[in-house]
Structures are given as structure tokens and as C-alpha cells.
A and B are shown apart, each in its own frame.
Chain A
Amino acid sequence: MENKIVAKNLNLWYGEKQALKNIDLDIKEKSITAFIGPSGCGKSTFLKTLNRMNDYVDNIRIEGDVILDGENIYADGVDTTILRKKVGMVFQQPNPFPMTIYDNVAYGPRIHGIKDRKTLDKIVEESLKDAALYDEVKDRLHTNALGLSGGQQQRLCIARCLAVEPEVILLDEPTSALDPISTLKIEELLMELKAKYTIAIVTHNMQQASRIADYTAFFLIGEMIEYGKTDDLFSRPQDERTENYITGRFG
């Protein structure tokens, strides 16, 4: 499978503190890659470097390259709005905008210049269907999105992300605020979405990684310790620290 994103020798500092150390990692196209590790290991920080959401953190310094389809996203002259249209992100807390369900999903396409009502209707419907939410909300598209349950809100956020037709979807612990049933629904959804999209997910839940990810990377104190096919990593870890972590001996 093709490499979609390649991180090369990536280092990141918050002020004086180094949060990522020499990360080299390839994310394969149309697959799910999971980042696991204990809290503060740098997995979320790394995820955010992939669409430059770290740009808004004060006092941050990044060295190294992240290559998306052959283009370095940290080169001069990169338009981050186009980058983020290609590399979308879903956050830990479901965070729909305080507007209607329809307007939430249509937000991205509108931002990128689509005004035609029929086109928008179609995008909204398709995105909600892709996010497995359409049947639940089709009768109340024009009601406030804040009325949805937590799990529905998170799927709405996924639909909102899909509506701009990204190539890569980054998810930062998307189910940690949800109940088990909603979590399961989102996991099933991600398994379907990987046919069309490249997916990278940060999770604190090792079972989740083993259930859905094709590839898994294990992070510890800013370093990427081990990376490989999920089955290999969980059944035959090469590094002692990985083994300690997945067998629950620490973290």
C-alpha cells in the first residue's frame, strides 16, 4: 500500500521541553493507523502535527518534515486552509457548532465556496449517511445540533469533517467521552470509512486499537518505540517497553 503521510525525523518542543523526539513514521493510504501510549507520551501532539493544528500553541518549535503526497506541509508558503481541507480532524470532546445539524455539516463546504442549495443538500445528506447518522436525524436537520446525544454529536462531527471531502481523517481519542454503545458505533463507522479515507486515530484504549487498526504505533515519553502491523505489535512486540505496556504492566 502507498504511503499517504511520511513523517521524517520530527522533533517538537514546548518552550524548553522536548515533546517529540526524532519521529519517523509512514501512514499508509486507506487504512487505519492507531497511536497508543500512556498519557503525555506525545501521541496527540504528534497527531496534531499532521495538519498543523499545533500552529496555534504558543512557544512551540517544530523541526523535521511531514510529507503529504510528496509535499512538505512545513515548507514555506503552505496554505494551511487547503492542507486542513485535505487532512481533517475530529476532537476528543464532541463539539458541534451552536447551529442546526444541517448548518454544521454544510459549514465546511460553504467555507470552501459552495453556495448552491441543491449541492449543499446533497453533500449534507451523503455526509450524514456516511457517518451513519442520517436515519436518526433526517427529520430534524434544521434543529439545533446541541440537542443530540453525545454519541450522535460525535458522529455529526465526523459528518462535518467528511463534508469537505478530506483525504485523511485524524481522530484524537474520539470515543473517550462516549458510552460503550456509542463507542462501538463509531468503531464500526471507521471500519467502513477506511475504504475511502486514510485514517489516523489516537486512543488510550488498547482494545480499541486492536479491534480496528491495521497499523499501530506505540509512543512513550515523546519517542515512538515501536510501529508495525497491529497483529504483530500486539502478539509479538519487539521491544520490552511495548510488551510491558500492552500487558498492562505500566501506564
Chain B
Amino acid sequence: MEAKNLSIFSSRKSKSVTERTAAIILRICAIMSIVAVASITIYMVISGTPALFSQGFADILFNPVWNPTGKNPEFGILYIIITSIFGVAAAIVIGVPIGLLTAVYLSEIAQPRARTVVRSAVELLAGIPSVIYGLLGILIINPVMYDIERALFANDPNHQMTGGSNLLSAILVLAIMILPTLINISQTALEAVPDNFRKSSLALGASKIQTIFKVVIPAARNGILSAIVLGVGRAIGEAMAIVLVSGNSVNFPTPFASVRFLTTGIVTDFAYATGVHLDVLYTIGLVLFVFIIVINIVLTKVVKAGVANGK
């Protein structure tokens, strides 16, 4: 009986309550990421700027002297910033060729079974905790570096021996850690290149390798650029893997010097720092945050440029 009286308008009110509540709750969930980024930005700025104003921008950002606990404390983080930039750049220079070529292997050359094996290995590499990279860095890379250091600087009285905990060790650890990012994103980009580009190159008498390097990689350029940008982000933000490997004293970044990165300084000093020292650690955090935001904006531009090119 009831069914007969069912109007197409009748049930709307009761239904619409559930419907509307669901839509509102879901919308709140979606908004959470905006809220999170906004709060993180606000907190980083609020906590990161006081030191800049109390000590002066130049005395922090462009001052090479870091002596937070001295009688006349100085809080210059210039060398720390430069170390992060140098270290990341070098890790990228080492990591990108290896990562890109491995991606080429996975996308263009490997037979299915070999591809499965290498892919599993790369996935595993991505899942290994930072602290384990650090542990192996201390026990495998540092001793080798120490041997090299002793051989190179045996007769150099000006060199401060680091026991192998130096910039070069940290660069190697970072280069390995960014490999999965570089490989995964480059591989996706290479696989997205339409097959008819490969076919027409081969039909012109190009060899497989020529086709890969002259057509496939150039066509995947934007995706590979994204991989590099993300690799930079991963490397510049890494802390626990390099904190014990890099030596962590503030020096100008030369390969065999003990150095401090933006991230590692925060890890070691946060537990005991107070007052201005603590404020400066937040400033370092803010610098790191600004780097990441810039990287993300660059990334968005790269992806947009790719879309504009019709890819």
C-alpha cells in the first residue's frame, strides 16, 4: 500500500539528512590536508622567526661561525646551509645516472623475470628505515673513508682527522637512499612514452640503445625532471641516516671534513638546547621548510609544463 503512495518527492527529507551529513564529514576530511599544511606553515614561521629578529638575519643566515654555547655565543648557520646544498647536489650527481639507467633497464631492457627481481629489490631499498642506513654507514662506509683519509692526509698537519665521519660518507649514504625515488618515478615516466615512438625510431634504422637515448629519454624528460626534484626533496630532508655518518661539526663542506647538515643539527642539539639556541634550531627547521616549499612549487611547474606539452 505504502509503495503505491510513494511520491518521487516523499522520501527526500529523511534521506537528505544522511546524505548531507556524509557529504559534510567527507568534506571535512578533505580539508584536513589544507589545515595541516596551514598549521605547519604557521608554526614553523612563528617559531622560526624570533631568532632571526633577535639576532639579525645576517648574523644567522650569512654568518659562518656556529658557537651556541660559548661566552659570546654566535649562531651562524651559513656553513650548515652550504653543506646541505653541496651534499644534496653531490648525492644527486651520483644518484641520478645510476637511478635513471636502472629505470631504463626496468622499462626498456629487462625480461619479465629479471624485472620482477630488480623491482622487488628497489621496493625493499625504499622500505629500509633511515636508522639502518645510518648504522651501515657507520660500520661499512666510515671505516673505508677513514682508510682513504689516512692515506691522503698522512702528512698534512692542518687536516683534522674525522675517523671517516665526513661529507663524502654522508653523500654516499644520501645517494643510495634517493635511488628508489629516482628509479620509481623515472621508470613510470619512461613507460608512459608511447610505443610508436620506439617503433618509428627502430624503423629508421636506429639501434635499440640509440632509440632509448635519442627518443625515449627525451620524450620522458619532464617525468625524469620530477624524479630529480623529488630526489632533492628526499635528500635535503634526511636526518637520521646521516647524523652519525657525517661527523656533525660545523665546517665548510670539503669532502673529508666533518660537517653538519640542516637536519642533523636539529637532531643532536634539540635535546639540550635552550633559549636562543633552541630558537635558532627552529630557524633551521624553517629554512628546511622553505627549501621544501620551493621544491614543491618547482615540481608543480614541471608537471604543468609537461601537461602543456601534451604529455
Contact = CB atoms under 8 A, between A and B. Distances in A.
A83 B203 CA distance: 9
Interface in B132-172: none
Contact of B206 (A81, A91, A99, A144): A81
A161 B197 contact: no
Interface in A117-166: 144, 146, 157, 160-161, 164
A84 B201 CA distance: 10
Given A88-B204, A97-B219, A111 B210 contact: yes
A193 B206 CA distance: 23
A95 B214 contact: no
B11 interface: no
Contacts of B197: 95, 97-98
B197 to A, nearest CB: 6
Contact-residue bracket for chain B = 20 to 34
Nearest to B194: A95
Nearest to A170: B203
Contact of B204 (A56, A108, A146): A108
A99 B218 contact: yes
B105 to A, nearest CB: 17
Contact of A107 (B204, B207, B219, B310): B204
Contacts of A82: 205
Interface string A42-80: 000000000101001000000000000000000000000
A112 interface: yes
Given A97-B197, A107-B214, A56 B202 contact: yes
A146 B202 contact: no
B205 A81 contact: yes
Given A53-B199, A157-B200, A97 B207 contact: no
Contacts of A85: 204-205
Interface in B160-211: 194, 196-197, 199-207, 210
A146 B310 contact: yes
A93 interface: yes
Contact of A84 (B203, B218, B309): B203
B54 to A, nearest CB: 53
Contact of B203 (A53, A97, A110, A146): A53
A88 B203 contact: yes
B218 A111 contact: no
Contacts of A209: none
A200 interface: no
B114 to A, nearest CB: 15
A126 to B, nearest CB: 16
A164 B203 CA distance: 11
A84 B200 contact: no
16 contacts: A53-B199, A56-B199, A56-B202, A81-B207, A82-B205, A84-B204, A85-B205, A91-B196, A91-B199, A97-B218, A99-B218, A107-B215, A108-B204, A108-B206, A111-B201, A164-B204
Interface of A: 51, 53, 56, 81-85, 88-89, 91, 93, 95, 97-99, 107-108, 110-112, 144, 146, 157, 160-161, 164
